[in-house]
Structure 1
């Protein structure tokens, strides 16, 4: 579990760095992509049992949601990695290609979708992550004050994330390709804060949506 958490945390950090193309430049962006590819492969190897169990057992709402998000995340990251090869300028500069505009469009769009699916993926697993963190820190019975504090922080992150989504034109980046590149205003710390907050929207949203679905499932089971 510790190894998986470290790998997942590293992938999240590298994904954020990869999104900061206008800050890092192309060479570092491609190098980060290579590291992401390696961690992505290791992540899938460690979770290979998940693939074997896809069609086994009962498929409740939680499992269907998790399956759909995981597959969409897998497809988006695979497309990002495959499309990066022919448009590489530093690591594979000798790759011949005449018109790379379409591939660049696919690469950019799927990278932002992958970013969103990654956040939802984390949100659906947030309960497991919290339980693992509690065991490692020895906090098995969190206080009411701590719980309320964390939820208030979550609300503030979501509110700020919504504002950052508009300022960073996330909807446009998920639907439109800009051949001249997306401009970036602000410092590196502002970029990190904005994109972490945007991630927070989907992490919190998927986590609490899952809790509501699970509660409704339990209520139905009790009534039956």
Structure 2
């Protein structure tokens, strides 16, 4: 694995962790929340610098449905993260207290709703590149061959994560957070940092594995159709 790829993976992992920490406002408190957000902004800029060549490819080549969906998801993720980070400036109390507005409710609404959409779009974004990430990890760990038992166990683990994530999505009322701003929030009683992290990681897993295996199914189906046409 080259240095640039390792830097990309490390940066993306750090972004994922920081975004999850940013969601835990009731646990971290406001000051830590804003410091995490500021760090996330730096990593987000670095992510775009490391992947700047992707923007040049948008206007090149032909588009099919799959490529259109990939580009749309990536651009929506870019838009939501930009909205999250810039809407945080007018409502900052500790890191940027000198930036103030008379009525910050609109910015709070934008900040919270786009944050949850950003979490989902980030997960789908990772899912679109999950195959590449797995291959990079295999090279880094020296795993070259395939193993049916290992593959079966990993797929079973993915299913369990998705099922657990769906359960947590309902328990934490995530559906309403994507459409309605709740100034008081919804918090699970007796919550802890570890429980929060595990449950939100399972929610992220829904969209990573859902996207990855849907993408594999579409690609396999497309290959099958091409092979049938060639007969």
TM-score, L = length of structure 1: 0.97
Displaced runs of 4 or more, over 4 A: none
Q: How many angstroms does 1:223 deviate by?
A: 2.0
Distance (whole Å) between structure 2 residues aligned to residue 182 and residue 166 of structure 1: 12
Distance (whole Å) between structure 2 residues aligned to residue 61 and residue 124 of structure 1: 14
Distance (whole Å) between structure 1 residues aligned to residue 188 and residue 90 of structure 2: 26
Distance (whole Å) between structure 2 residues aligned to residue 215 and residue 78 of structure 1: 34
Distance (whole Å) between structure 2 residues aligned to residue 188 and residue 55 of structure 1: 43
Counterpart for residue 222 of structure 2: 217
Q: How many angstroms does 1:59 deviate by?
A: 2.0
TM-score, L = length of structure 2: 0.94
1:149 aligns with 2:136: no
1:30 aligns with 2:30: no
Retained in 2: the 8 A contact 1:22–1:184?
no
5+ residue gaps, structure 2 = none
Q: Secondary structure at the match of 2:90?
A: coil
Retained in 2: the 8 A contact 1:61–1:213?
no
CA RMSD between the two structures: 1.0
Counterpart for residue 122 of structure 1: 126
Spell out the pairing of 1:124-139 with structure 2 (5 A cutoff): 124-139=128-143
Which of 197, 201, 212 is residue 196 of structure 1 equivalent to?
201
Q: How many angstroms does 1:61 deviate by?
A: 3.4
Counterpart for residue 82 of structure 2: 78
